[in-house]
Chains A and B, each alone.
Chain A
């Protein structure tokens, strides 16, 4: 069974032997995009966060075949082309020490993109609530909060210099 998904701006042909596959499985195992992570496959950890038509969702809960025609953005679609070419959120995560094992990191990077696009200067409690669907077991969230605040500042500075 074949269908087409638009991922990170590129149409991709999916050849699926079973249509029950989640978008997460198709991204990871059929399209070579394993950046979205598989920690729970029931929408309780946020590791597989992607943008579906601009909405932050868990890829594990999207039936891939139902996403035909939608715009899908994964962590691989953020940042620049070069290997060290990071966007301000990714850079802030590295610099703030928000990454340990890193399994939750791609999902958080996508979730923070969604947050800062909607709320450019969030309060601490807005950040906490916005990322409360992204579980992290390593950091205790302290450095992640710092990273989000750094990224918000970086975006604000970018806006000023423009």
Chain B
């Protein structure tokens, strides 16, 4: 077995050009569990956690580009937490402080777990991923990147180098259900994003399908339902639903219908279906009538 510690992206891409390519180790929070439990016995490992460039981020033209090595802890801190509040809310629910210090957004994407906490947020933000190899760089929309449970479109010779999405962008809420108040895998999670300029809503669901899912029927229904509260001098930043509580109930129904949950040891399909409906309704209520500073929630100190 060999271990290569790359210090730059070109160095990493060169290593990945080997046949067969080495396995990529980032924060280690998923990879090392498999090694420790003898479920994975790599011949060659490429460690990318020491590539400084991967831990950087840039904002330009309304886009945020996060290097794949950005950790959950970085996402929790300003200014990233203000640029992408739902991502910060999701990051806060990942594992423990120890995991958040090591785990990376790139790792979350490549692991492609149906329960990956940042994935519904990135999906709701229409994120794109950048994949680099010695052959060049390609960009994929997230929906094309996430193929199934623990399956993604990265080729073995490619390195996921960054993820891009619009930021700052509208109002955002991430909500996650787990059976413990910390350090818990999501039983269900949702991200709802509202663009107050267009009244457009995007909804993504986690842990209720082979990959995170968009609830497009619910989004389309909401496009018809959402109206600004008050007009003219009484206009506020709040929205209301044309059909009020009945509309909220319909959203819950459409969201539950969009979910494709399974029964497992963490919960039942029926509960997951129910929970995503409740969570989307709650997230929507918060977004439609935001309390001052509420969009940020309380991001951890």
Contacts and interface: CB of A to CB of B under 8 A. Distances in A.
Interface string B91-103: 0000111110110
Contact of B102 (A62, A68, A111, A134): A62
A95 B37 CA distance: 37
Interface stretch (A51-59, A77-85, A86-94, A96-104): A51-59
Contacts of A18: 1
Interface string B232-252: 000000000000000000000
A144 to B, nearest CB: 15
B101 A57 contact: yes
B3 interface: yes
A63 interface: yes
Contacts of A10: none
Contacts of B45: 19, 63, 65-66
Contacts of A65: 3, 5, 45, 47
B25 A20 contact: no
B18 interface: no
Given A20-B42, A133-B95, A58 B182 contact: no
Contact of B96 (A20, A52, A122, A133): A133
B300 interface: yes
B98 A66 contact: no
B270 interface: no
A4 interface: no
Given A63-B32, A65-B3, A126-B301, A133 B102 contact: no
Nearest to A107: B98
A41 interface: yes
A69 B7 CA distance: 12
B29 A43 contact: yes
A62 B47 CA distance: 10
A61 B5 contact: no
B28 interface: yes
B1 A19 contact: yes
B294 interface: no
Interface residues of A, number: 34
Contacts of A19: 1-3, 45
A119 interface: yes
A42 interface: yes
A64 to B, nearest CB: 9
Contacts of B25: 63, 66
B101 A66 contact: no
Contacts of B182: 129, 132-133
Contacts of B2: 19
Given A43-B95, A60-B36, A66 B42 contact: no
Given A126-B301, A132-B96, A132-B182, A22 B102 contact: no
Interface of B: 1-3, 5, 25, 27-29, 32-33, 35-37, 41-42, 45, 47, 49-50, 73, 95-99, 101-102, 181-183, 300-301
12 contacts: A18-B1, A22-B35, A44-B95, A44-B96, A56-B97, A57-B101, A61-B27, A61-B29, A63-B3, A66-B5, A133-B95, A133-B98
Interface of A: 18-20, 22, 41-44, 46, 49, 52, 55-58, 60-63, 65-66, 68-69, 111, 114, 118-119, 122, 126, 129-130, 132-134
